[in-house]
Structure 1
Amino acid sequence: MTAPTILLPGDDVPSDALPSTTSAPLRLGAGLRLLSQAPSAVSKKSPGYTITASHAGLLSTDPKRNAVSVLSFPNHRYIPTPHDLVIAQIHHSSQDYFHCVITPHTPHALLGQLAFEGATKKTRPMLKTGDLVYARVLSVGVGAGSEVELTCVNPATGKAEPGGLGPLTGGMVFDVSTGLAARLLRGGSSSDVVVLDELGKKLESQGGFEIAVGRNGKVWVDCSGSGEVAVKATVAIGRCLSETDERNLNPTEQRKLVSKILREMKIET
């Protein structure tokens, strides 16, 4: 069994670690960047490019899809990557942009004031400091000091898809590790995170809840009920996410945790 390849930011991916499939183009996933080599450095054996890691993690290859990516460590600092879904907070606005916080102690990301479905100069959302938006990373630029740009629409269609992009009103935001955020977004039948599905089943009789997961380690929750029950359900969801994250629970343990916390919060299911 070969040892896993660990990459640090700036490390080149070894050519012998890449999938050998030649019938399909190589797909680059999260954590990797394609760089062109200088003409003087290109030789007959060189492909004319290098693949470099943009953050630390384990190199992961998928020969069937001819894909390669970097699996980040669960508690790594979030680094914006194009197409990522994030929950951003409005810091201030200028004539053409909202200046947003997506991670602490980093430069603000730019969100165009017209980057919303159906927005015009007269109908654009009037967001203020502290408001939340569910957005997609549009571009990150290259080099030090480059700006991150966000959007709340699909540039190809002008629609807010996948559903839910745009301002987030009401609800509460919980912090989770970037590792758990990635697993929640991955979803699907093969996911090892079932806590939200289990909560959805248990809380259906209470009106259910809406949720938005940001790749930057933020989870927004808004319960459909009203009054004390909605508050209890929101807190219960936050507790379930926090304990699942901190204790790295498996699916069986997650289901037991959901039942335990809902029972402690005296929420009927």
Structure 2
Amino acid sequence: MDSCLKSRIGEVLLPGDVFSFEAAEVISLSETVKSEKVICGPGLRWNGGDILAYKCGILRHKAPSMYWIDSQQRRYVPTKGESVIGIVTVKSGDVFKVDVGGSEQATLSYLAFEGSTKRNRPNVQVGDLVYCQFTIANKDMEPEVVCMDSLGRANGMGVFGAEGLLFKVSLGLVRRLLAPESDIMKDVEKLFPCELVVGMNGRVWVKASSIQRTLIIANLLESCENMTSQQRQTLFRRVTGGSL
């Protein structure tokens, strides 16, 4: 058993690894004040007073106290607060069913859009892509998503993607794309103008000025999965040096 999870950040963990914490990191049930609440993300869970790793991957940390395992898994497990790309599959009364890539479909209310009322309903059709956020995501309840933030604003969410290309990548690559100051995203921006939407469920949508450029960006992003930074930059330079 390791004494501190922080000391293993950046290392590869295996299922079954167990971690305890020093007093400054975790508090017992008898204490009334907690100095730091440790939050377990994908791949980690509480096991009594310790934390158990149940996936294989690299341990990551986000200040102040969020930990998760960065793995190459493709099956998405819904998590409250995460933004995903969903596909509307059913339109029934006041709700829509949305495929989010998990084990079951999520529910999306017609009132979960900015400015939506009983008289002013959003124009959502079966097959549409929606960028949405989980408000309910646990094993005991049906997942629910919304297309607005806590202030009732769309904030970039809603129906999108009348054109463009939707494809899937690993959840690990998604986190690299969404990371602050992502090197991959900086390289993509140097290619040519495009629209890019990345969901935490491993779905990526891209649209460039032509079908050819759209396919190039999609193929480059998929190729980044197993490339080093140097290999990726070499490939991107080869593309920008062309006649596109």
TM range, smaller chain: 0.7 to 0.9
- Equivalent in the alignment of 1:138: 135
For the 8 Å contact 1:5–1:58, the answer to whether it is kept is yes
Q: Which AA in structure 2 matches 1:182?
A: R
Of 21, 27, 36, which aligns to 1:25?
36
Could you state the TM-score of these two structures normalised by the residue count of structure 1? 0.72
2:154 pairs with 1:160 = yes
How is 1:28-177 mapped onto 2 (pairs within 5 angstroms)?
28-31=39-42, 32=44, 50=49, 56-57=55-56, 60=59, 65=64, 67-103=65-101, 106-143=103-140, 146-155=141-150, 157-161=151-155, 164-169=156-161, 170-177=163-170
Shift of 1:235: 0.7
- Equivalent in the alignment of 1:252: 230
RMSD between aligned alpha carbons? 3.1
- Equivalent in the alignment of 1:234: 214
CA distance in 1, matches of 2:125, 2:166: 17
Please give the secondary structure, in 2, of the residue aligned with 1:115.
strand
- Equivalent in the alignment of 1:182: 175
For the 8 Å contact 2:13–2:53, the answer to whether it is kept is no
Over 6 Å off, 4+ runs = none
Shift of 1:100: 0.6
For the 8 Å contact 1:18–1:68, the answer to whether it is kept is no
CA distance in 2, matches of 1:160, 1:97: 18
Shift of 1:148: 0.9
Aligned length: 228
The alpha-carbon distance between structure 1 residues 153 and 50, as it changes in their structure 2 partners (threshold 3 A), is farther
Which segments of 5 or more consecutive residues in structure 1 lack a partner in the other structure? Answer: 36-48
Shift of 1:142: 3.7
The alpha-carbon distance between structure 1 residues 200 and 261, as it changes in their structure 2 partners (threshold 3 A), is same
Q: Which AA in structure 1 matches 2:113?
A: F
Please give the secondary structure, in 2, of the residue aligned with 1:202.
coil
- Equivalent in the alignment of 2:185: 196
Which segments of 5 or more consecutive residues in structure 2 lack a partner in the other structure? Answer: 1-6, 28-33
2:197 pairs with 1:212 = yes
Shift of 1:199: 2.4
Paired-residue identity, %: 27
For the 8 Å contact 2:60–2:67, the answer to whether it is kept is yes
Could you state the TM-score of these two structures normalised by the residue count of structure 2? 0.79
